Amino acid sequence: MAVGCPYNHIQAGWDWKAQDSACSWTCGGKSQSPINVPARTNGQLDRRLRANTQFGIAKNLTVLNLGHAVQVEFDPPVGNKAAVAICDNSIYGLYKLRNPNRECRKLTYAAVEPLQFHFHATSEHLLSGRSTQLELHIVTKVVNRTGFALPAECQGEKPCLAVFGVLYDLNVDTAATVGDARIQRIIDALPQECEEAGRTCKNAMPGVLDLSELLPGGKSWAKHQMKAEPKYNTYSGSLTTPPCTEGVMWHVFSEVKATLSYFQAVKLQTALSTVMEGGHEAANRLNNRWVLPLNGRNVFGA
């Protein structure tokens, strides 16, 4: 991000594209995220084209309040086996095909490593026009691992990213106090009394976390993959915050992971407005970007 290019979510991202030239952003691009995932996709991918989401065990967890998001970081996960399908040695290959099941001439797999996960409220992606209370993004990058492909776009210094979006609903009973236990662990570890948002506004989160348990179905599907793999929708999009870099391989799960209590939702939202950003009172509370046009892009179910 260029120096002197702060941003916030007051206009849900509609104002970012005006700063593209000054800030070297691509927020006005034609392949932006999030999107409204249509009820009728461009097709259903065969199981061989599905991503492997065995993300492994995260240790040395840290919760950060960045002002624009609550983020959890960790060491490279132990036992990570995650990978995404790649057609014709390109991160765009699968998404450019009309029927990848038949037209993917050279199928390989690129290994990915989870870097962090963070939250958006309300959800950024819509499912057939439906929004949810919260969306969790597990951000992974393509890594060079023996036995896996390294797509052409990923062989320079610029990282290739695959993001996995998980949705959470809100309990309409405002008196309910029990929500999702994993989300509560993060809330309990939120950094307190930070004057300024950023990478120094952080706190250690006790214990370890099986990252695959953040997905719908938890660990149960990993042991019985033929029966209960969680369904997702995949397309080629962008980061949902500046610089809005395109070429991100998106995987948005269609099953809601869990229901948050009212108190959990409030805690996560208000955390963003308890800090300063650049010496000014934080402007974020809701931190979702508005949905962007598909512009002819393919969206596949898996």
SS3 (DSSP) at 108: strand
Polymer length in residues for the chain: 302
Residue 4's contacts (CB-CB under 8 Å, 6 or more residues apart) are none
Q: What residues in the chain have per-residue pLDDT under 50?
A: 1-3, 220-221, 224-227
pLDDT at 200: 95
Single-letter amino acid, residue 133: Q
- The domain locations on the chain are 16-296
Token pair for 201:
């506004």
Q: Is 97 in contact with 86 (CB distance < 8 Å)?
A: no
User: What pLDDT is attached to residue 224?
Assistant: 45
Report domain 16-296's class. Answer: alpha beta
pLDDT of residue 61: 98
Would you state the pLDDT for residue 225?
A: 47
- The tally of CA atoms less than 13 A away on the side-chain side of residue 272 is 23
In a 10 Å sphere around its CB, with 0-12 CB exposed, 13-18 middle and 19+ buried, how is residue 175 labelled?
exposed
User: Do 5 and 22 meet the contact criterion of CB atoms below 8 Å apart?
Assistant: yes
Supply the pLDDT for residue 217.
82
DSSP at 90: B
End-to-end CA distance of the chain: 33
* Cα diameter, the chain: 56
**Would you state the structure tokens that stand for residue 111, as one six-digit string?**
């290994």
Tokens of 173: 């009973």
